[in-house]
Amino acid sequence: MPLRIQLECGCRIEFLDENMGKWCQCKCGNSTYVPYDIWYFFNSDLDLEDVFQVFSSRFPTEKDDFRHDGENAWEWFDGNTTEGDIGFNISRKHTVSRSDPENPVKMGLFLYEGSPAPSELGQWLANNFGKTVTSKSPGHLFDATYFPE
Ligand SMILES: [Zn+2]
């Protein structure tokens, strides 16, 4: 049986090979980037490697569970936590200043059952990076801004 992502509007999108890595539209027109169902954005002066280190201090990820790669404009980490509760894609352009508001760290997360709630994650990111974090999700139910506490 194909895996499906349940959108906040109630529709489901199947995880088919032809859907992967694309924006997919449900019946009512909401778009979601498959396979990620929530995106967090924040600026950070840290190297992307250090950003990933902070993330994996909370969500342990063994070497075999992710790829660290890049091309001429982008650098990224993608994979799954070792416990398998979160899929992630963490990326940023390495050609643009880290402080440029147009060049935030983009953290796409797929939250499997048992993973923390989107709001808990957003607040954790804000606190641990000491930055304002915004989130966007399909259906916009989890769109929010988090401030460091
Ligand atoms: Zn829908």
CATH of the domain at 137: 3.30.310
Average predicted confidence (pLDDT) for the chain: 87
CA of 138 to the centre of ligand 1 (A): 9
| 73, 21: one domain | no
Same domain, 76 and 10: no
Is 113 in a helix, a strand, or coil? coil
pLDDT for 139 equals: 62
Per-residue pLDDT band at 61 (split at 50, 70, 90): very high
Residue 83: per-residue pLDDT: 87
In angstroms, what is the span from residue 55 Cα to ligand 1's centroid?
Answer: 30
Distance 119 CA to ligand 1 centre (A): 22
| Together in a domain, 78 and 8 | no
Tens digits of residue pLDDT in 16-58: 777 766 777 888 888 776 656 789 999 999 999 999 999 999 9
Q: Are residues 122 and 100 in the same domain?
A: yes
| Per-residue confidence (pLDDT) for residue 127, from 0 to 100 | 97
Q: How many separate domains does the chain show? A: 2
Contacts of 18 (CB under 8 A, 6+ apart): none
CA 45 / ligand 1 centre spacing (Å): 37
How many whole angstroms from 108 Cα to the centroid of ligand 1?
20
Distance 77 CA to ligand 1 centre (A): 29
128 and 67 in a single domain? The answer is yes
Q: 29 and 2 in one domain? A: yes
Provide the residue count of the chain: 149
pLDDT above 60: residue 1: no
- What is the three-state SS of 71-91? CCCEEEEEEECCCCCEEEEEE
Picking from 8, 35, 24, the residue whose alpha carbon sits closest to that of residue 137 is 8
Using the Cα atoms of residue 21, residue 137, residue 139 and residue 110 in order, give the sign of their dihedral: positive
pTM: 0.78
pLDDT, tens only, 123-138 = 999 999 999 999 988 6
What spacing in Å lies between the alpha carbon of 67 and ligand 1's midpoint?
31
Q: Which single residue is written with the structure tokens 């924006």? A: 23
Burial class of residue 146, CB neighbours in 10 A (0-12, 13-18, 19+):
buried
Host domain of residue 136: 36-146
CA-based nearest residue to 59, from 92, 84, 34, 42: 84
Query: Does residue 89 share a domain with residue 76?
Result: yes
Confidence at residue 118, expressed as pLDDT on a 0 to 100 scale: 86
Q: Are residue 21 and residue 52 in the same domain, yes or no?
A: no
Tens-place pLDDT, residues 68-107: 999 999 999 999 898 888 889 999 999 999 999 999 999 9
Do both 15 and 68 map to the same domain? no
